[in-house]
Structure 1
Amino acid sequence: MRNAIAIAEAGREGEVRFFGEIDATPANMRRFIDRFAAKYDRLHFCYEAGPTGYGLYRLVRSLGHNCTVVAPSLIPRKPGDRVKTNRRDAVALARLLRAGELTAVWVPDEGHEAMRDLVRARAAAVETLRIHRQQVSAFMLKHGRIYPRKKGWTMRYLCWLQEQQFDHPAHQIALQEMVEAVRIAKERVERLEHVIEEFVPAWSLVAVVRALQALRGVDLIVAVTFATEIGDVSRFENPRQLMGYLGLVPGERSTGETVKRGGITKAGNSRVRSMLVESAWTYRHPPRIGRVKLYRLEKTSPSVREIAWKAQVRLTGRYRKLAARGKRTTVICTAIARELAGFMWAVAREAQIA
């Protein structure tokens, strides 16, 4: 792997030139940085966020220089520019960094990044489990085998699968292999969830995770996912900024006195957004505190409990009002998820202050 490097001299009229490509090893990057540090008084580096992670960011920072990891989706681009090469991208980044037109992403520390990788591994395992289950369902539907009950993937459903008989032995083997794949995927999900539960108490954001679980519809996985993906909520000055970051605010195309708003922007962290929409379904029930939730509330501060109850009363009432107006359930849950994000922001801020 190689890094394409461009340099923008200071000042509006400073030269912007392409330096070249070098091997992206720590030793080579360190030599390159030391070489230019001896030539210039101050250096500021930037690169696009991507699969290479934050190793280069930490290397540059350890050498005492500024570094910005740039959000690729927010890089300004000309509509007519259809040519994309490493050289052109490097020169464009250098010019935009000097102009202050780049948007930085939040960079987690190594411990936080490790927890995020673990949570994302669990999310990937859940997706694999869903695909394997879908394959079994499609196989049974193709052969006209309809499960007589409503709820699937229970122990009764698995027993029903084992009772199915096919004329050709190849069909029997195919079904058994797919069922076995479901079992292995499910065990992987459960194993990762146990590991997450094991590592949370030693994590720096354990107080935030526990506080978030005071909210209805927010269990350990939702709380850990929110904490790992969002990180320090204090970087959002108000809840609306967090809602916009998650892509839960409506898009708008307005001009003059004409105001047109559409669906949500979906511009942001899709992992947290989808989980919040799933959690919003729980607010279709009247406000109440169950036995499990009561046990979790006892571990939180009075201020967090007050926010959690206020959220439950507010969001359940809003769900009823939107349903009475004839809104679709998907639209209702999206609106509830947007407000739930605001309450999660308030709870996380309160937990960090405490």
Structure 2
Amino acid sequence: MQDVTLIGIDLGKHSFHVHGQDRHGKALLRKKFSRRQLVEFLAKFHACTVVMEACAGAHHMARQLAGYGHDVKLISPQFVKPFVKSNKNDFVDAEAICEAASRPSMRFVTPKNEAQQTLSALHRVRESLVHDRTKACNQIHAFLLEFGISLPKGYAVIRRLPVILAEQRLPLRLVQVLERLHAHFKYLDEQIAQIEKELAAQLADDDLGQRLMSVPGIGPITASVLASEVGDCKQYRCGRDLAAAFGLVPRQYSTGGKNNLLGISKRGDKKVRYLLVQCAKAYMRQLNYQTGQLACWVRAMRARRHPNVVACALASKLARIAWAIATHHTTFEVREARIPA
């Protein structure tokens, strides 16, 4: 056991399968543990490299094992799959994790701390509540349209629904259904507002989040998400790597020495990508009031490309700016456009 230098763990809810090998790749450990048994085993085991897939519970386990002196690394599951041999089982998965981790070019995921995970959970709850609020709003519109009542778009008209119902002659049971939906809509609206207040309070105490908000177009929600998802950005070599992690760089299909760049790859976290694109569109809507090199670059792009293409390009640039702010501990400064001589 003293020769074990690399341990791969296939995580589960209740059972964990472990594969250990020496520096030559020879298997020396193959065992199944419960959660408590695994923690007790690795707490007494000599310090080595422990690798897991970046899935549910991986970040908590990584923090716990790092406290015992182990060098813990997380791998994206998509990079482990090519190393699974023949038939799939939990021990084969653990072995594949070791095989993937031993590749010198393998990319790893930085474990999140508790604050980042908590903030990420809060954002997911807000996203779910927003989805439910939109669903309730659409149902109210649809039910009224069935009875010949067409309401304007937006949440404002839903908030004054009781006044609208009082002015219309509708079946009593339908009114009761709509009132129940309206009460549900109000509850969701209040919960979303409360969560946004909590996010604003947390963001006020977050130095990185405050610096990210100095970027034009980036608001508190996007700044909070970026702070929770990427942290100090040390896992990314450059700004383009961060943009690529969010799927905002061109997808490539090149062969025979001929480069063929397609649309954006759409890889990584689609929620962050969506927020960055929305930030870019918000910036473009206020383009007439913007100054500096960034505004001139966007105007030049708008003159020759479709607005959606410009929005994706600007979202990629915002991701690169966010990387520079996080890694260099700076804020965004508007630079005046250079006038050609």
Q: Structure 1 length as normaliser, TM-score? A: 0.79
Residue correspondence of structure 1 range 89-238 to structure 2 within 5 A: 89-100=93-104, 102-147=106-151, 149=152, 151-155=153-157, 158-159=160-161, 161-163=164-166, 165=168, 167-202=170-205, 206-238=206-238
* Aligned counterparts of 2:267 and 2:209: Cα–Cα separation in 1: 25
| 3-state SS of paired residue (1:46) | strand
Runs (4 or more) in structure 1 with deviation over 6 Å come to none
Contact conserved, 1:284 with 1:319, CA < 8 A, in 2? no
Aligned residue in 2 for 1:64: 69
Shift of 1:76: 4.4
Stretches of structure 1 that go unaligned for 5 or more consecutive residues are 290-307
Stretches of structure 2 that go unaligned for 5 or more consecutive residues are 1-13, 333-341
Residue correspondence of structure 1 range 253-332 to structure 2 within 5 A: 253-282=253-282, 283-288=284-289, 309-315=292-298, 317-322=299-304, 325=305, 327=306, 329-332=307-310
Contact conserved, 2:54 with 2:74, CA < 8 A, in 1? yes
Residues 55-92 of structure 1 deviation map (CA, whole Å, 9 limit, x = unaligned): 211221111111112211332416995x4332221121
Contact conserved, 1:311 with 1:340, CA < 8 A, in 2? no
* Aligned counterparts of 1:192 and 1:257: Cα–Cα separation in 2: 52
* Change in 2 beyond 3 A, CA 1:157/1:66: closer
Shift of 1:234: 3.8
Contact conserved, 1:44 with 1:65, CA < 8 A, in 2? yes
* Aligned counterparts of 2:18 and 2:143: Cα–Cα separation in 1: 52
Shift of 1:106: 1.4
* Aligned counterparts of 2:44 and 2:212: Cα–Cα separation in 1: 48
Read off the aligned partner of 2:101 and give its amino acid letter: L
Shift of 1:258: 3.3
Relative contact order (C-alpha < 8 Å, sep 6+): which is higher?
Answer: 1
* Aligned counterparts of 1:144 and 1:50: Cα–Cα separation in 2: 49
Read off the aligned partner of 2:155 and give its amino acid letter: W
Matched, 1:43 2:48: yes
Shift of 1:353: 8.8
Residues 89-109 of structure 1 deviation map (CA, whole Å, 9 limit, x = unaligned): 112112322344643211122
Residues 181-202 of structure 1 deviation map (CA, whole Å, 9 limit, x = unaligned): 2111111110001111122233
Shift of 1:141: 3.4
Contact conserved, 1:318 with 1:336, CA < 8 A, in 2? no
Q: Give the aligned length.
A: 317
Matched, 1:15 2:18: no
* Aligned counterparts of 1:220 and 1:309: Cα–Cα separation in 2: 23
Contact conserved, 1:126 with 1:189, CA < 8 A, in 2? yes
* Aligned counterparts of 1:313 and 1:349: Cα–Cα separation in 2: 25
Shift of 1:113: 2.6
Contact conserved, 1:71 with 1:104, CA < 8 A, in 2? yes
Read off the aligned partner of 2:72 and give its amino acid letter: C
Q: Could you tell which deviates more after superposition, 221-230 or 71-80?
A: 71-80
User: How much identity, in percent, do the aligned residues show?
Assistant: 21
Contact conserved, 1:166 with 1:172, CA < 8 A, in 2? no
Q: Which of 42, 54, 63 is matched with 1:33 structurally?
A: 42
* Change in 2 beyond 3 A, CA 1:62/1:93: same
CA RMSD after TM alignment: 2.8
